[in-house]
Amino acid sequence: VVSARRTRLRREPLSKSFWNVKRSLVLKQLETSRAIAETVAQCRPEVVCAYPITPQTHIVEGLADIIREGDLKNCEFINVESEFAALSVAIGASAAGARAYTATASQGLLFMAEAVYNASGLGLPIVMTIGNRAIGAPINIWNDHSDSMSMRDAGWIQLFAETPQESADLHIIAFLLAEELSCPVMVCVDGFILTHAYDRVEFSTQEEVDAFLPPYTPRQVLDPADPVSIGAMVGPEAFTEVRYLSHHKQLRALDRIPEISESFREHFGRSCGGLLRRYRTEDAQTIVVALG
């Protein structure tokens, strides 16, 4: 992401004025999980639901520190008793009109499977980080995409990060995309390969993030003063319409993801996201498409 700046650092001596510009960019050398936590905090979630599972635990621990220290205000950090409860609480919070976030991995995602489908069926714009990890048995805490792939057809958009920088930045895009489409989004980050990697990450100011990601305006709100039911029983004809609506949101995302990614590049001065990256395809006869 900062390859051009690194090239300049290697090839030419730096003036004092250049260092002054560099200091304003807010560069930090830190663990990717902490970078994700700080970026999620800049997105101003109002409810963070947390249950630990390797390799995503450092993300919610980082958010807990940020909230406890008062750096993220007007946010409730809720410790729950399971991964199923984590997403269930996020569903309740989102349905009540709050910007909600949680994170999980591996068996934790399988445990919350019922809630995963409920979140998309209700059209709730929850953002959830997946620290991609293999599914047992045997128990394996290392990187594998079987967890997020098991939820491929659950109605969530899945964004896969390539680098520590992108692991953080994709969360800003995820909240914007989720709230625009009323559709939940997973940000998938390779377990250990990314979650526990240390690298230099560039952060934007809170003002820049606020200008790109507006306050959450819910389209449906549970209000005791105006009671309604959500997720009530429907017949086959209505259920088919709901499932088609979920499919339609995915099709809209195919157009909006490149557009939002380009807006991100113009706003923050660094690239992030998009649908795919080409590598030496100009004269290729066969192209291999790889995920994650």
* pLDDT per 10-residue tile (average), the chain, 292 residues: 34 37 72 98 98 97 97 97 98 96 98 97 97 96 96 96 97 98 98 98 97 92 89 91 94 97 97 90 92 68
pLDDT value of residue 24? 52
Q: Are 100 and 126 in contact (CB under 8 A)?
A: yes
Residue 186 three-state SS? strand
Sheet holding 157-160, edge to edge: 76-79, 47-50, 100-104, 127-132, 185-190, 157-160
What pLDDT does 230 receive?
86
The residue whose two tokens read 């009323």 is 182
Note the pLDDT of residue 220.
81
Report pLDDT for 292. 60
Cα separations in angstroms, 59 against 7, 19, 166, 196:
31, 31, 15, 10
133 phi and psi angles, rounded to 5 deg: -150, 150
Angstrom CA distances, 117 to 83, 114, 151, 154, 175, stand at 14, 6, 9, 5, 18
pLDDT attached to residue 278: 86
pLDDT of residue 178: 98
Residues 55 and 57: their CA atoms lie apart, in Å, by 6
For residue 160, the model assigns a pLDDT of: 95
- Cβ neighbour number for residue 243 with a 10 Å cutoff: 13
User: CA of 2: how far to CAs of 36, 62, 122, 270, in Å?
Assistant: 18, 24, 39, 8
pLDDT at 232: 86
pTM for this model (two decimals): 0.89
Look at residue 72 in the predicted model and tell me its pLDDT. 96
SS (H, E, C) 197-241: CEEEEECCCHHHHHHHCCCCCCCCCCECCECCCCCCCCCHHHHHH
